[in-house]
Amino acid sequence: MEILGIDIGASGMKGAIVDIEKGELLTERFRIETPRPATPGAMAAVIKKIVAHFKWNGPVGCGFPTAIKNGVALTESNLHKKWVGVNAEELFENETGLPFIVANDADVAGIAEMNFGAGKGKKGFVLIITVGTGLGCGAFYNGQLIPNFELGQMYYKKYKNVEKYAANSVRKNKNMSFKKWGKRFNKFLNYVDLILCPDLFIIGGGGSKYFEEFEEYLDMKVPTIQAETLNEAGIIGAAYAAKELATEKSQ
């Protein structure tokens, strides 16, 4: 079964057609920079361009960088304050004429990792931490998603949100060494462990490609491993999340 998956990030919006049985991209990724300001109207126009690029006519799955409930954006995150309270599913459906499933970006990345990556077959409480512009989290208990674990939004000292202290974007913007940044990220993981006591951490997102550079600075009691689906996880998981829409259409 083939579905178009779109991964929306704070810096870029990218899509590809996915084989959701194999968890593989069937096309090259097509990427457009996230507009600035990242308002609902401007981003909906980019979604339309991505759909048109693939000449797609079917259900679409979309990962979105904020907490999503029943298709509605609950916070602005790294986008624009006008997103709060907007039904992203309805907006994108009206713009393209196609049915959409929109879910939190870290949740859909986690879906990909649990079905096709390092989390496959893992039981217990698994937290998939996506390291990028922010700090996302996909939470799973015995393989079942617990949505909208926005751990990057936890309050931390003068930084207010802990992702402003330990996200990969902080490392890049401040030109930090992996040692200095790794110690920050380690503090974040131990903070999460203290509160939630997971059985496994899986580190994904764009920053996970540097895992070997900062792994030695992680002092964790909980097993902590690198994701396998990496940058493709958001697209694959988004497409997989729209599986039910595709199934309904084929019946």
Domains of the chain: 2-105+233-250 (3.30.420.40), 118-228 (3.30.420.40)
What are 102-158's pLDDT values in tens digits?
999 999 999 999 999 999 999 999 999 999 888 999 999 999 999 989 899 899 988
Q: Does the pLDDT of residue 54 top 80, yes or no?
A: yes
Paired tokens of 193: 């462990």
DSSP label at residue 87: B
Average pLDDT of span 79-103? 95
pLDDT for the residue 79 = 85
Q: Are strands 100-104 and 60-64 parallel, antiparallel or unpaired?
A: parallel
Give the per-residue pLDDT at 75.
Answer: 85
> Does residue 250 have a pLDDT over 60?
no
The DSSP symbol for 84 reads T
Average pLDDT of the residues of the chain:
93
> Helix, strand, coil proportions of the chain in percent (round to 5)?
40, 25, 30
Residue among 207, 157, 165 at smallest CA distance from 183: 165
Burial bucket for residue 251 (CB in 10 Å: 0-12, 13-18, 19+): exposed
Q: What is the pLDDT of residues 1-44, one digit of tens each?
A: 999 999 998 889 999 999 999 999 999 999 999 999 999 999 99
Q: How far is CA 89 from the centre of its chain?
A: 17
